[in-house]
């Protein structure tokens, strides 16, 4: 309650009260350090403690399958449900969980302080209120993070299903593959989607077609492609090499015959 005094308009000019409130806030964060560590460990590793009811409620908020949600509500979890539950929760680990530990910890601390500010004495103490509310506050924050396409650097059918479940507006299948802006006008989106490309390039995914166009036709380097498509530079490099290997195999030629020189990116026609 001392932390909340800083939000009282009557204390706006009371520097002592504001300082006391900030100190109270720091004490709260120190007191709940174990809680933050518990969430951080789960988000970073995906190791679910099926004996922890709070953690199971948190994981359940990311599960759309009714049978899996029901399994998480049981006192004893059937091992046959653990694998699919872990697989679903991997979405969180591979997206939000890839942030730096310090960034996630800061988010967890701020979310707790939001609940402190919102808390009102209504017959239950703060810890009871926190136990019921914190896991949902954190899950809402993560869902908001993952709904931003900029934060998702890869695509997978299961993850697309997840996004459709929790987004306010369903995301179209292969949405990002239908949007392709190239600086020269060719190839167009129909080629990217495999509708007008020759049999030679049918072995490639739309994403791989976009990468090889940028690299081989438009003189982008891997770093520029990574920035453009919101991917890691190593991911771009691996996907480009994989695409080249596919083409070499399809054409029946040695991979060394496909041009792989390092590009400076200076000739790339970057969008203004």
CA–CA separation, 2 and 24 (whole Å): 6
pLDDT for 182 = 45
Q: Please say if the pLDDT value at position 179 is more than 50.
A: no
Contact 190, 196 (CB under 8 A): yes
For residues 74 and 69, what is the distance between their CA atoms, to the nearest angstrom? 9
Q: What is the DSSP string of 222-264?
A: HHHHHHHHT--HHHHHHHHHHHHHHHHHHHT--GGGS--PPP-
Q: For domain 175-257, is the CATH number 1.10.10?
A: yes
Q: What is the pLDDT of residues 65-91, one digit of tens each?
A: 888 888 888 877 677 888 889 888 988
**Confidence at 184, pLDDT banded by 50, 70, 90:** very low
| pLDDT tens string 191-239 | 777 777 788 888 888 888 888 888 888 888 888 888 777 678 888 888 9
Residues with Cβ < 8 Å from 225, sequence gap 6 or more?
211, 214, 215, 231, 236, 240
Higher pLDDT, residue 261 or 135: 135
Within the chain, all domains assigned CATH 1.10.10 are found at 175-257
């Amino acid at each position: 309650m001392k932390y909340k005094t800083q939000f009282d308009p009557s204390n706006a000019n009371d520097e002592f009260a504001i300082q006391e409130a900030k100190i109270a806030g720091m004490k709260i964060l120190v007191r709940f350090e174990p809680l933050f560590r518990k969430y951080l460990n789960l988000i970073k590793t995906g190791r679910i403690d099926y004996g922890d009811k709070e953690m199971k409620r948190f994981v359940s908020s990311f599960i759309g399958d009714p049978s899996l949600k029901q399994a998480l509500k049981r006192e004893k979890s059937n091992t046959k449900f653990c694998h699919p539950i872990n697989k679903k929760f991997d979405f969180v680990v591979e997206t939000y969980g890839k942030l730096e530990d310090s960034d996630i910890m800061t988010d967890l601390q701020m979310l707790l302080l939001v609940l402190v500010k919102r808390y009102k004495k209504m017959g239950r103490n703060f810890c009871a209120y926190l136990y019921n509310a914190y896991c949902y506050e954190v899950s809402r924050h993560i869902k908001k993070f993952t709904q931003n396409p900029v934060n998702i650097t890869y695509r997978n059918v299961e993850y697309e299903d997840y996004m459709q479940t929790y987004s306010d507006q369903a995301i179209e299948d292969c949405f990002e593959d239908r949007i392709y802006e190239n600086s020269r006008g060719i190839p167009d989106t129909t080629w990217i989607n495999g509708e007008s490309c020759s049999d030679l390039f049918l072995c490639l995914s739309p994403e791989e077609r976009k990468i090889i166009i940028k690299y081989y036709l438009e003189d982008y380097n891997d770093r520029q492609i990574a920035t453009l498509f919101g991917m890691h530079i190593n991911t771009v490099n691996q996907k480009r090499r994989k695409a080249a290997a596919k083409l070499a195999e399809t054409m029946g030629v040695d991979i060394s015959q496909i041009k792989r020189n390092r590009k400076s990116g200076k000739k790339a026609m970057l969008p203004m």
